Amino acid sequence: MANVAVVGAQWGDEGKGKIVDWLSERAHVVVRFQGGHNAGHTLVINNVTYKLSLLPSGVVRPGKLSVIGNGVVVDPWALLSEIDAIVGKGVKITPETLLLADNAALILPVHQVLDAALEEAKGKNKIGTTGRGIGPAYEDKVGRRAIRVCDLADRETLEMRLDQLLFHHNALLRGLGAEEIARAPVLDKLREVAPKILPYAGRVWERLDAERRKGRRILFEGAQGAMLDVDHGTYPFVTSSNTVAGQAAAGSGLGPRALDYVLGITKAYTTRVGSGPFPTEQANDIGERLGARGHEFGTVTGRKRRCGWFDAVMVRQAIRTGGISGIALTKLDVLDGFNEIRVCTGYRLDGQTIDYFPSSVSGQAAVEPVWESLEGWSESTQGARSWAELPATAVKYVRRIEELIGAPVALLSTSPEREDTILVRDPFAD
């Protein structure tokens, strides 16, 4: 049986939640492998809306094992709050249905304080983080001073790790002219939360290996998108983790041989939250229309998303760096009613036409899109569940997208409802 990794192929917010939920019905295990509670998925099931940030999307499906891998940075208080909210909607979550990697790094209150202080100090050069401490937590992990889930079970280790962490962060806070973090309140909070979190903790790498050997289908659920990847994205306007599918192996401990199919989620247009380059952005009536029709507000932050036409250069690059096998094209219905639809097929930079997104900050800021105009359609595509229900010009648009990005459309989503999906190729069948 194939194992599938689902990743964003743009700047996040591509509609991964619905697609993962759609796929999770056929999976046995659903794994989050990177990011933190800065990214959110919205699921609508039987008219009930679930907003998830840390919990894998499979958690709302009975009989599935949900896993938070070692590649995720975990705010234990946010996790417990999310569990309570989902349980309050009638979903059963127990240590038998939710497994948290014991070697996952924790997000502490000091990380959020430092996140806000650093953003404030950057002024006009701020990156536009969510302020949830994700970046500082990943910095601590790489700097080998993080407190991990397993440390909560060892009082002596916990105190030692906390002292090392505060020694570093309080020096930074002093330099920023911000108030330092006192040791005792943080230690008290960690001791209080430990018995609530530890029952979920375990060896994720071992359990996933056992599930794989049993022939269980495993679904790896990514957060954010390829162009927010710390290596391959629009650096420095990126997240603090690797968002490409290769991280599914490192962030779960299962290894790359377990990945059989990589599904890239891609909107039929483009959106971005926060600062950073956006070549196809439409800061005009078209952008406003796309945002209004697509309800483009962040699940976690509520921030309005910037909107623009489809960028085939960016998605093509994401497909190559992410090893994407096929895409799920979402929100096609948002384009209903446009007489003309534009697609970016290349960039102009310094008088030359290029077919890649530059690595340099100056290059990213200077590129200008090369446009191709396609005929729009007046008919509605909302709720379509077969190719026959789509207008001919909509089908032509999808086929042209496939040609430009060099990957087939495996699924086509025509509304937020999970059943409004056209299956072209089953990722689990590979």
Which residues are the active-site residues?
A: 13, 41
Q: Where are the alpha helices (DSSP H) in 261-340?
A: 285-294, 312-322
Burial string for 205-218 (b: 16+ CB within 10 Å, else e) reads: bebbbebbeeeebb
400/145 Cα distance (integer angstroms)? 49
147/103 Cα distance (integer angstroms)? 9
Q: Which of 266, 237, 245, 273 is nearest to 127 (CA)?
A: 237
How much of the chain is helix, strand and coil, in % rounded to 5?
Answer: 40, 20, 40
Task: Measure CA 290 to chain center.
Answer: 21
Burial string for 239-260 (b: 16+ CB within 10 Å, else e) reads: bbbbbbbbbbbbbbbbeeebbb
Q: Which residues share a beta bridge with 266? A: 329
- DSSP helix/strand/coil, 89: coil
